Amino acid sequence: MADFPPDHPALLDLAPYRIGDLSETLTPALAIYPRLVDHNIETTLRLLGGDPPRWRPHIKTAKLSAIHRRLIAYGVTRLKCATTLELLTACEDGATDVLLSFPVMGASARRVREIAELYPGVRVSSLIETADHLEPWRGGRVGVFIDVNPGMDRTGVRQEDEAGILALARAALDVGLEFRGLHYYDGHLGAADLAERERVAHRGYDRLLELVAALERSKLPVEEIVTAGTPAFPCTLTYKPFTEGSVQHSASPGTVVYTDATTLTQLPREFGYLPAALVLATVVSRPTARRITADAGHKAISADAGDPTCVVVGRPELRGAHASEEHLPIDVRDGFSLPALGETLYLLPRHVCPTVNNFDFALMVGDGRVLSVEPVTARGHAGPLLPKPKEESSLKGHTA
């Protein structure tokens, strides 16, 4: 990662994160700071002009019912998710509209239909990119968004394929499905500097609105367009046509709820986001004169974004080396003393979403103390077999 942020102002002050008594705390542990979560929610809503329906956060990051309910209390009731367990959790927690932004087939699609039937007051939708994706939803109440590929080449119909997109929308209506709109996730833009990111993103958004116009000319009305995870969020904010048209536009950044080290490099500092989820780790070894080891390897802090996996809050002289399963080696700059054995380190993940998914429980922290322990409700996946009706409650939250 370019510009890895150990000297970012938000990471130099440990005081907002320090916990007074950790004598009964097993490490590694996930610590979430609700007041800072609220700050990040309020920041996002401010950037979106105080309009909660414009935010459809992806809850693959939030994961906890305790945090989902905070979003919902702010009026953010339209969510996005990736797994059937996240979908079920969102419905239980009070969401009014949930988009499953991951293609599902077979038994997984049947499970989505079951959840939609269990919560008739929640609008449930899924993505489609081919006519093969229509059949699982026929005769049910699950709506569909066409997934448009902006060049990420992960899923979706190529944005140049206007005829294919029109044909797919028409096919959805022909089999009695609710065609709700277009989904456009441009997460591949995160590596570019902001000016280049904005230039490429806006060019894609121009094309997206051309597709909307083509659909509407063909009497295929578009209710909503969904863009922008965290990396492209600034680009969505500066694209004025999204707020000037008649189609509902939603942005879907989810990482900003907690804000990780990558987010601090991708978003302008003036936005004001603050880290709200850290991993507590203990120094367990001092193997060399300039290295320590903490108990937060990649089974605690996700290594999917590369090295270093995290930043040590309040200690810019410490830099993580390559982690193994349980061990996190950390190098100490010359001229600085090594942390003591048994010392607690407060680590900001480079990628918080899969890091939260590593933990069964989270400490809720405020005023320098642990306020409660909350389950990471949507961690992992649901059990591998479709539950029978009487098993519905007992299988909730069971991970494969």
- Pick from 354, 364, 302, 352: nearest CA to 67: 364
- Residue 271: Cβ within 10 Å count: 18
Classify strands 224-227 and 157-158 as parallel, antiparallel or unpaired.
Answer: unpaired
Cα 50 from Cα 73, distance rounded (Å)? 14
Cα 359 from Cα 379, distance rounded (Å)? 8
Architecture in CATH of 56-252: Alpha-Beta Barrel (3.20)
pLDDT at residue 121 above 90?
yes
Instruction: Check residue 332 and give its pLDDT.
Output: 98
Instruction: Check residue 390 and give its pLDDT.
Output: 61
Q: Using 50, 70 and 90 to split pLDDT, how confident is the model at 392?
A: low
Q: What is the pLDDT of residues 189-222, one digit of tens each?
A: 887 799 999 999 999 999 999 999 999 999 999 9
DSSP three-state, residue 83:
coil
Percentage of residues of the chain with pLDDT beyond 70: 96
Q: What is the pLDDT of residues 352-384, one digit of tens each?
A: 999 999 999 999 999 999 999 999 999 999 999
Classify strands 123-128 and 78-81 as parallel, antiparallel or unpaired.
Answer: unpaired
Asked if 8 and 267 touch (Cβ cutoff 8 Å), the reply is no
Mean pLDDT of the chain: 95
Count, in order, helices (H) and strands (E) of the chain: 12, 17
Q: Using 50, 70 and 90 to split pLDDT, how confident is the model at 399?
A: very low
Report the predicted TM-score, pTM, of the whole model to 2 decimal places: 0.95
User: How many angstroms separate the Cα of 235 from the Cα of each of 17, 81, 189, 196, 205?
Assistant: 31, 22, 10, 10, 10
pLDDT at residue 351 above 80?
yes
Instruction: Check residue 394 and give its pLDDT.
Output: 46
DSSP three-state, residue 106:
helix
Instruction: Check residue 388 and give its pLDDT.
Output: 82
Helix axes 34-47, 65-73, angle to 10 degrees: 40
The ranges assigned to domains in the chain are 9-29+271-375, 56-252
Q: Fill in the amino acid letter for 197.
A: R
Q: Which CATH superfamily does the domain covering 9-29+271-375 fall into?
A: D-serine dehydratase-like domain (2.40.37.20)
pLDDT at residue 251 above 80?
yes
Helix (H) / strand (E) element for 201: namely helix 194-217
pLDDT at residue 1 above 50?
no
The structure tokens 């974004």 sit at 305
Q: What is the pLDDT of residues 29-79, one digit of tens each?
A: 999 999 999 999 999 999 999 999 999 999 999 999 999 999 999 999 999
